[in-house]
Amino acid sequence: MTVRYDIVHTTVYRYREPVKFGEHRVIFRPRDSHDLRVLATDLEVSPEATIRLIQDPHSNSIAIVQPLEPAEELRIVCSFTIEHAHSHNLELPLAPGAEFFPFAYSVEERFDLEHYLRPHHDDPLGRLTAWARQFIRTDGPTGTRDLLVQMNQHIRENFEYVARDEEGTQTPLQTLDLGSGSCRDFALLMMEAARRLGVATRFVSGYLYDPALDLPAGASADAAAAAPTVGAGSTHAWLQAYLPGAGWVPFDPTNNLLGGNTLIRVGVARDPSQAAPISGSWFGAADAYLGLEATVQVHRLDED
């Protein structure tokens, strides 16, 4: 079964006085694949700007936006319609040699996965490695997928979600110390923990559909409140792990999701810093910047 969504992602930067703008890098177009098809896209920028589309080293579709005149406000509106098929990684069989942990990638796989296998954050005292190893069973064989499912669920149940608008991501050790974080922080924590167990992972940025935010006026939200979705209404982040036989499979530790059709992929990267939805520069007085406002609306379309 496929579901169609309309998504509108609006970002507004405001300044005390007109400023000049450098290039802005915008990741907004969902990644087409067997489970996700892009039907229409549009990108509107104010003030007037030149726009060119490129692919980055991860094959993400990138819009390079160059505003042409100074302004007190930079508004970037990304909108698109997609068709999303349901997927659930528990249904995907693993290669026989990868069903139980530990397993080994083939030589060819290791060449292709090298940057996704290598940890990117320090763990001088082995705290993150010890945290990751708690999910290895001591009473019998450990299923590879079971290990990741348990890690995903543990983060959802034992860490506090805290929305954070400013750019950047906590280190995994900071997230462990605080016991809280944003979706980006939780994705990075699980990515780095899995890498220390020899599992290739990559960061995913995109959007999350929450039925509670798509209810008509006056409708009851009791059903949605029973299992609230966290992280909708803005950009969202999760991870994929590469499991032989199944390929890249999704894990969303913020909501303990394992696929489905509510996670809408836009960009993938080996590190969160490479997948910021919008990044760029401006030139003006140091105190000119007033802040930004970003909103995401994901609306499920009625079936014909």
Does residue 139 sit in the same domain as residue 251?
yes
Does residue 134 sit in the same domain as residue 227?
yes
Does residue 124 sit in the same domain as residue 188?
yes
Please report the pLDDT score of residue 223 as a whole number.
44
Distances (CA, A) of 237 to 43, 191, 265: 22, 12, 9
pTM score of the predicted model: 0.90
CATH number at residue 168: 3.10.620.30
CB-CB contact of 27 with 81 (8 Å): no
Does residue 101 sit in the same domain as residue 238?
yes
Please report the pLDDT score of residue 224 as a whole number.
46
196 CB-near residues (< 8 Å, 6+ apart): 119, 123, 128, 129, 132
Pairing of strands 100-101, 142-143: antiparallel
Secondary structure class of 108 (helix, strand, coil): helix
CATH number at residue 285: 2.60.40.2250
Structural domains counted in the chain: 2
Does residue 98 sit in the same domain as residue 27?
no
Does residue 146 sit in the same domain as residue 225?
yes
Does residue 79 sit in the same domain as residue 140?
no
Q: What is the mean pLDDT of each run of 10 residues along the chain (304 residues)?
A: 92 97 94 91 96 94 97 97 86 94 96 96 95 96 96 97 83 96 97 98 94 64 56 86 96 93 93 92 95 92 72
Pairing of strands 100-101, 201-208: unpaired
The whole domain housing 287 covers 2-85+277-300
CB-CB contact of 236 with 213 (8 Å): no
Does residue 189 sit in the same domain as residue 254?
yes
Does residue 244 sit in the same domain as residue 156?
yes
Does residue 111 sit in the same domain as residue 255?
yes
Does residue 268 sit in the same domain as residue 281?
no
Q: What is the 3-state secondary structure (H, E, C) of 110-175?
A: HHHHHHHHCCCCCCCCCHHHHHHHCCCCCCCCEEHHHHHHHHHHHHHHHCEECCCCCCCCCCHHHH
The burial of 50, by beta-carbon neighbours within 10 Å (0-12 exposed, 13-18 middle, 19 or more buried), is given as exposed
Does residue 294 sit in the same domain as residue 228?
no
